[in-house]
Amino acid sequence: MAALPVGINERFMKLRIPLSRIRHLTIISAYAPTLTSPDDAKEKFYEQFGQLIRSTSPSDKLVIVENFNAMRDYSSWEGVLGRHRVGKINDNGLLLSKCAEHSLCITNTLFRMADKYKTTWMHSRSRYWHMIDFIIVRQRDIKDVRVTCFMRGAESWTDH
């Protein structure tokens, strides 16, 4: 039987797919508030994000995808971030705290590849490309990830 995605709210969607009789994959799609959003909106988002992770069966493979607008220094976040990030440090570190709290890893910082396969958004004034879309898995499942990259140029309503 085909699984259907469940819309949680305007920022989250969840899909649970059976991999075998006893194993499942849960995919969470998330769209975080931007850096300019009020702090209470960011805090509410990350509270809901934590609740979604906690409500996911610990035995499930977990993949979290989408837009988080956050990046920090990798040396402070061993296990969460790899060495191959793009961009400057910003003030939206709540994602990294949640990843550390729930033993999650941002996989697209693990692989060495050209920036064009990591960045998904270009600032209109600076014309600088940024890494704001992430693929996140449980640290125990990193071995299952072979590569993470993005393909620019998708035809859709979004700017990245």
Which positions ≥6 away from 60 have C-beta within 8 Å? 16, 23, 24, 25, 26
Q: Is residue 151 part of a domain?
A: no
Q: Is residue 154 part of a domain?
A: no
What mean pLDDT do residues 61-74 have? 70
Q: Please give the pLDDT value at position 135.
A: 86
pLDDT higher than threshold 70 for residue 90: no
- Collapsing DSSP to helix, strand or coil, 103 comes out as coil
Rounded to whole angstroms, the Cα distance separating 69 from 35 reads 7
> Total structural domains in the chain?
1
Print the domain residue range for 16. 6-144
Q: Is residue 72 part of a domain?
A: yes
Report the mean per-residue pLDDT for the chain. Answer: 80
User: Which one, of 81, 92, 102, 99, lies nearest residue 42 by Cα?
Assistant: 92
CATH number at residue 30: 3.60.10.10
pLDDT higher than threshold 50 for residue 160: no
Q: Is residue 160 part of a domain?
A: no
33-37, 99-103, 112-116: which range is least confident on average?
Answer: 112-116
Q: Is residue 149 part of a domain?
A: no
What mean pLDDT do residues 68-77 have? 58
Q: Please give the pLDDT value at position 23.
A: 92
Rounded to whole angstroms, the Cα distance separating 24 from 60 reads 5
Rounded to whole angstroms, the Cα distance separating 54 from 48 reads 10
Q: Is residue 38 part of a domain?
A: yes
Q: Is residue 53 part of a domain?
A: yes
